[in-house]
Homo-oligomer: A and B are copies of this chain.
Amino acid sequence: NSKSLRRGLASLKQPTSLFAPLDTFQERHIGPDDAEASKMLSQLGYESMDAFVADTVPSKIRLSTNVVDNSSIPAYSESQLYDRAKELGGQNKSFKSYIGMGYHNAVVPPVILRNVMENPAWYTPYTPYQPEIAQGRLESLVNFQTMVMSLTSMDIANASMLDEATAAAEGMVMAFVTSPKKRTFIVDQGVTPQTIAVLRTRAKGFGINVTIGGAVALLEDKSILADVCGVLVQYPDVDGNIKDFGKLAETAHSTGALVVCATDLLALTKIKPPGEWGADIVVGNSARFGVPAGYGGPHAAFFAVTDKLKRKMPGRLIGRSRDTQGKPAYRLSLQTREQHIRREKATSNICTSQALLANMAAMYAVYHGPAGLERIATKVHKFTEVFKSAVAGFGYKLKNETFFDTVTLEVSVAGSADAVHAKAEAAGINLRRIDDKHVGISLDESVSPTDLVTLINVFASAVSKQTVALNELHEPEVNSIPAELQRSSEYLPHPVFNKHHSETEMLRYINHLAGKDLSLIHSMIPLGSCTMKLNSTSSMIPLTWPEFSSVHPFAPYDQVKGYHRIIKELEDDLCKITGFHAASLQPNSGAAGEYAGLCVIRAYHESRGEGHRDICLIPLSAHGTNPASAVMAGLKVVPVKVHPDGNLDLGDLQAKAEKHKDNLAAFMITYPSTFGVFEAGVQDACKIIHDNGGQVYLDGANLNAQIGLTNPATCGGDVCHMNLHKTFAIPHGGGGPGVGPICVAEHLAPFLPSHPAMPVRGEQSIEAVSAAPFGSASINLISWAYVKMLGGKGLVDSSKIALLNANYMASRLQGHYNLRYKNENGRVAHELLIDLAEFDKAAGLKVTDFAKRLQDYGFHPPTCSWPIQTCMLIEPTESETLEELDRFCDAMISIRQEAEDIMSGKQPKDNNLLKNAPHPISVIASSEAEWNRPYSREQAAYPLPWLRERKFWPTVSRIDDAYGDLNLVCDCPSVEELAH
């Protein structure tokens, strides 16, 4: 009876009353309804959810009390959340920011705002590891790379970094590994303070000495130069100066040192690009290309290098390759660096990056094109010239003679900087606070003529001069960009940047690309360890409200009360969930969280006079970012064995912990393990570590299995990171953004990261790990909304259903596939690992063949060949309905039968449905002559009946990885190429 089809969980039904809200989020978030959940439970042989959970989660670590429930975390309905977000947004004051320091107000073209940033087709896909169903965002990321390459005049650029400061740190490390014997890294004093802070943190782990000062002068000192591996300059610098670093580059290169240049894409339309004066590595922040400030992020940083450094680049690189039909196609190049990060050999741990924001920035360049960017840059520059002459007229002294958009003023004529700031504040304006004699002003695209007049008049009134009117301002005739540093080279000549300039064409281009990509709007993305769950609209809506999106990360605290309330509430709730004491939202990804957590552990040891502790035990099954992060934190990785069933080898752990007990710093463990195993011995393992003087880092990627059932503190951990872009429903954005906060036990709290723009947390804090004090602050709104709308009960129910869904799938696939692990009760955790080795042995069928064939069934393949080469790791999450789980299982079982036909010899081993997969329409449409396959087009396209109504089509055939890696081409085709 349809009327009884109420949603939610019968066994867990919320108490309802007439006055309870109807728009409860839990009902919309959790896929299965009562009836479906009961059906799954009974299929697994359970009468209740409790009995199922008891068999699944080891009793030793089960939380006995209701630690997480609606009294500890009350649930808001969707409309209550909306109202609360409005209220808190209202507590952020919308001052006009001229603070600069690498952060500008952005003007987001409406067509990009609506159709990229607010469009689930763009924000819900996964990282494009499956290129046949990701050509859209791959093309857009190549646009990003091309844009960066062209504006910087560098040979190659990657597909984004987390922020400018960490990108600069990666540059520093690249310089260091290029000249590993030289330990000095020079940082010019014109670099922004947040970058300097992040460099200092990062330098520590690598044992690099960061020397800050006038870079040009420092390099002239031969005794210093001898030990220099690299130098970082900011161009234009934080005060606005545009300096000629050509000579500096020559000097550096004379001893093999590398020049890292932090720069600004908009300025590069006007000034000589770093690639033309000898920079080796160019980094920066692309946010002013149409990405809102969001109180610090997210936005995409960029990273570009010369050709000879290309194979050492961190991060993701998109390249052009070809498919089996010879059709050009994009893919992640040198992909092994990615998913299987080079573990302890790595020098970077970046995994999740900033794909969505890189796409927005690239689209901004597509929309404006070179002519549009030129117009914008001209306006920004000329407004700055107008401002400069006006304030010079009032008696202010300019600190910088040269500039693009930023001037630093000596303000003694006004008494003090405070006097100027007071006038600014009264006008609703924020200026850069430098010291009591200087203020900084950065202009940007958003500044209207009226804004400019208001700004000028702040300076007029601070010295009691007559205010000016717009019609008294005139186009300046000077140009404060030195003639020899003006850009003369062309940029962005590629067709893609020169044709989509009407909104209609832009909309079609955005949609055309989106149409090539499989995302959560199509079907489940059961990526083990990635937790691709519902990213609800109600949590996305506040994100693009101006009261949250247009806040500068260094805005004064009293203007950002709404944000701070949200940050505080989220930190508190994360502590309740993890069982820990304090949190930091600064890290911009899971990997960044790992790194931050390990730095905190090191600082803790140091504080106790045990700074020598530098051994980090890591199971062999750990995610590649774990050892990479350890190395970056200056730790030595000692691997720990794992049993074939996924459990840690406790004997090996004990032996190694004891062996290294004098130097044991930490142990990193993922829980449930990367095999999808709730290890009953986790507390014993942690005790071994503690007994030997170490701290336990718990990788929280799998936290979705735990909430309210157990927690990292109970397991025995001291610190954990969470991936808010997994467990806490920030969408993956096609490869980022992410947020990787850490929670720590009380004894570690004093060491949580600080930031130059943040009131100090305590004297023992480590320095910044991200450019912004609260990382990608704006998207914390999503996780905050998620937690608040589910409430404690909804969070726990979500974990329970995540477990149930995974176990249901295990029960359906079992018998067809070799389930690699289950516990003594026959249960898996929130994901399941199936081993396909038998198919390879019997018929040479690889994991990839199954994965590509799944694309033909309209699904994104699960995580492949990780953590075990021959396996697939399947994670459904709580958001998928029984019907969807069944569709996926049916597909897997059908493929199993197709494989059977190959193994039995009915179908040839080299020309079959799996090896030839995926089958795009162009292949299905091929002529009779070309269709030389021992199966029909219909078998290829519609192996199951529901595919006729509901099918997602890959747009290219299988892509040739080897070809792509050998022929690394990472930019857009040019006019000439297209002509061929």
Binding site for B on A (CB under 8 A): 1-7, 17-19, 21-23, 27-31, 33, 78-79, 107, 109-111, 113-115, 118-121, 369-372, 374-376, 379, 382-383, 386, 445-446, 448-449, 470, 473, 475, 490, 492-493, 497-499, 501-508, 511-512, 520-523, 534, 536-538, 540-541, 879-881, 883-884, 921-922, 924-928, 931, 936-938, 940-942, 948, 950, 953
Whole-angstrom distance between the Cβ of A228 and the nearest chain B Cβ: 39
CB-contact partner of A502 in B22, B386, B881, B924, under 8 A: B881
Contacts of A497 in B (CB 8 A): 2
A921 CB contact (under 8 Å) in B490, B493, B921: B921
A883 proximity list for chain B (CB < 8 A): 499
- A953–B920 Cα distance when bound, in Å, is 13
Check A537/B503 contact, CB under 8 A, given A382-B18, A521-B508, A937-B926.
Answer: yes
Q: How far is the CA of A511 from the CA of B522 in the complex (A)?
A: 7
A449 touches B19 (CB 8 A): yes
Asked if residues B922 and A927 are in contact (CB atoms below 8 Å), the reply is no
- By the criterion CB–CB under 8 Å, are B7 and A501 in contact? yes
Q: Closest chain B residue to A514 by CB distance?
A: B521
Q: Which residues of B contact A523 (CB under 8 A)?
A: 508
Does A534 lie within 8 Å of B2, measured CB to CB? no
Chain B residues within an 8 Å CB radius of A449: 19
Question: Which B residues touch A107, using CB under 8 A?
Answer: 23, 79
Contact B30 A502 (CB under 8 A): yes
10 closest A-B pairs by beta carbon, nearest first, are A110-B537, A28-B503, A19-B449, A511-B521, A110-B538, A925-B937, A18-B475, A925-B941, A2-B493, A111-B537
Docked Cα-Cα span, A113 to B493, in Å, equals 39
User: What are 11 A-B pairs with beta-carbon distances under 8 A?
Assistant: A19-B473, A28-B502, A110-B536, A110-B541, A118-B118, A119-B119, A120-B511, A507-B521, A508-B522, A511-B522, A928-B936
Bound-state Cα–Cα, A760 to B506, Å? 46
Find the B residue at minimum CB distance from A374. B3
**Minimum distance in angstroms from A634 CB to a CB of chain B:** 43
Query: Once the chains bind, are B879 and A31 in contact (CB under 8 Å)?
Result: no
Determine which of B6, B448, B498, B521 lies in contact with A2 in the assembled complex, contact meaning CB atoms within 8 Å.
B498
Q: How many copies of this chain are found per oligomer?
A: 2
Set of chain B residues within 8 Å of A21, measured between Cβ atoms: 448
- Asked if A371 meets B3 with Cβ closer than 8 Å, knowing A501-B33, A502-B31, A950-B512, the reply is yes
Residue of B nearest to A492 (CB): B2
B5 touches A369 (CB 8 A): yes
A274 vs B4: C-alpha distance when bound (angstroms): 25
Complex Cα spacing A941 to B925, Å = 7
Residue of B nearest to A113 (CB): B537
Residue numbers in B under 8 Å from A445 (CB-CB): 22
Q: How far is the CB of A75 from chain B (nearest CB, A)?
A: 15
Cross-chain contact B30 with A534 (CB below 8 angstroms) = no
Residue pair A475, B17 in contact (C-beta under 8 Å):
yes
Given A120-B115, A490-B2, A511-B521, the answer on whether A503 and B18 have CB atoms closer than 8 Å is: no
Chain B residues with CB below 8 A from A926, complex form: 937-938
Once A502-B31, A504-B534 are accepted as A-B contacts, the answer to whether A938 and B942 lie under 8 Å apart by CB is no
